[in-house]
Amino acid sequence: MIGDHGRRFRLLGLLALTLACGSTSALSEATAPTEGESTGETTGAPSTGSSGSSTGAGDTTGDTTGEGEGDPSAALQVIRGGTIVGLGVADIAIVDGVITEIGAIETTPEEVTIAAAGRWIVPAGIDSHVHLDYLRAPLPMAAGGIAVAVDLAAPIAVFDERKAGEFAPLELLVAGPMLAAPGGYPTQSWGSGGFGVECASTEEALAAVDDLADRGASLIKISLENGPRLSDETIAAVVTRAHERDLRVLAHALGDADAAAAAAFGVDGLAHTPLEPLSPATIAALDGLAVISTLHAFGSGETAMSNLGALHDAGATILYGTDFGNSVTPGIDPIELMSMLAAGLDPPEVLAALTSTPAAFWGLAHGRVEVGAPASVLLLSGDPTSDALLLATPEAVYLDGVLQDIGLRGGGGIAVEPK
């Protein structure tokens, strides 16, 4: 399953070139699914039939007109005729950014129609490892198909910045600063500007957990990197306290022994696929834990890819993540997708790692196309369960019912200096 890496890696390089060359045409065709200019105007897609019964809850045909003129998210929008992956051809009604009905939906004069016949529809993506404070690019991320990002280390100001809407239109889950020993990772390297909170004792570490929980953190991140690090006793206490506060705990652990230690401490997952060859015992210990891919950020090395394949086979929960901020491709990263495929995940598994699996892990309403979920969806030119790379070039991106400007995503990278 994970053999023949040489051939797969060569393929990876070729695909990267193809994508780079193809990006212009992808962008120029991207306006194909259009919204009606005015209410009641249908933009050409044949309806999938308006006589059948709808599967969704609620009747959306009344009461929504007249609200929020000029703001498409406030009107009734209907995505017509697309193939919802896992469900088949169906229309999707959206009111106030939420999916209100799925099925064969009768046409109404007041609706704004989004023609999607011949297109595949999937939930927008969840990137479970970013540093948006490092690289403030929420719009390119959104334009590239990401609805939710999980920030795995940022200075304490991230909580206020999030409150001020600085990461809109993304929904951002945050760890705040990583818990670190005095002088420990990442405080002496890339994270010197407040990305770690230095804890000299168990009491200080527990106070930091409580402070982060009070501020609205979704998780606690600890480091098992070489150099000064929190004592075993402190880490065990931190994991217990974090779980008492309903926070996930992720460990930065790149080595075999560190990954095994993280599992023994009872963390919920690893922030990266480890880079050192993992022993069978460590792989077994990580069964049932989450592992965030971050393959591209470390060069998609053969060892990491073998580790991810083995962890996947052994029952770890694989989550798509890019380490954006330390990596520089905003939005759904084709190289990350390719690397996950080369590691042995099949296209439906890659799609799940980007959508439904992290939604369940993080307790999000996103990551699924269903009534009551946010209307955050991608319109694709083909079936991503056959070709997962299509996820990286959505023809249209809707987040909470609002069409994103996919021109903002750039041609595979944005002009920044990686640190």
Residues of this chain that interact with Zn ion (CB under 5 A) are 152, 323
Instruction: Give the nearest distance from C-beta 130 to Zn ion in angstroms.
Output: 8
Closer of 20 and 416 to Zn ion (Cβ): 416
Closer of 323 and 400 to Zn ion (Cβ): 323
Closer of 301 and 382 to Zn ion (Cβ): 301
Closer of 130 and 364 to Zn ion (Cβ): 130
Query: What are the residues whose beta carbons fall under 8 Å from the beta carbon of 341, sequence distance 6 or more?
Result: 347, 350, 388
Residue 268: both structure tokens together: 């919920």
Residue 35: both structure tokens together: 């919204």
Closer of 189 and 386 to Zn ion (Cβ): 189
> Which residue is at the shortest CB distance from Zn ion?
323
Instruction: Give the nearest distance from C-beta 159 to Zn ion in angstroms.
Output: 18
Instruction: Give the nearest distance from C-beta 225 to Zn ion in angstroms.
Output: 11
Instruction: Give the nearest distance from C-beta 325 to Zn ion in angstroms.
Output: 7
Cβ contact 204:211 at 8 Å: no
Closer of 101 and 323 to Zn ion (Cβ): 323
Instruction: Give the nearest distance from C-beta 300 to Zn ion in angstroms.
Output: 16
Instruction: Give the nearest distance from C-beta 170 to Zn ion in angstroms.
Output: 16
Instruction: Give the nearest distance from C-beta 19 to Zn ion in angstroms.
Output: 24
Closer of 272 and 366 to Zn ion (Cβ): 272
Distance, CA of 263 to CA of 251 (rounded, Å):
9
Count Cβ atoms within 10 A of the Cβ of residue 117 and give its class: 0-12 exposed, 13-18 middle, 19 or more buried.
Answer: middle
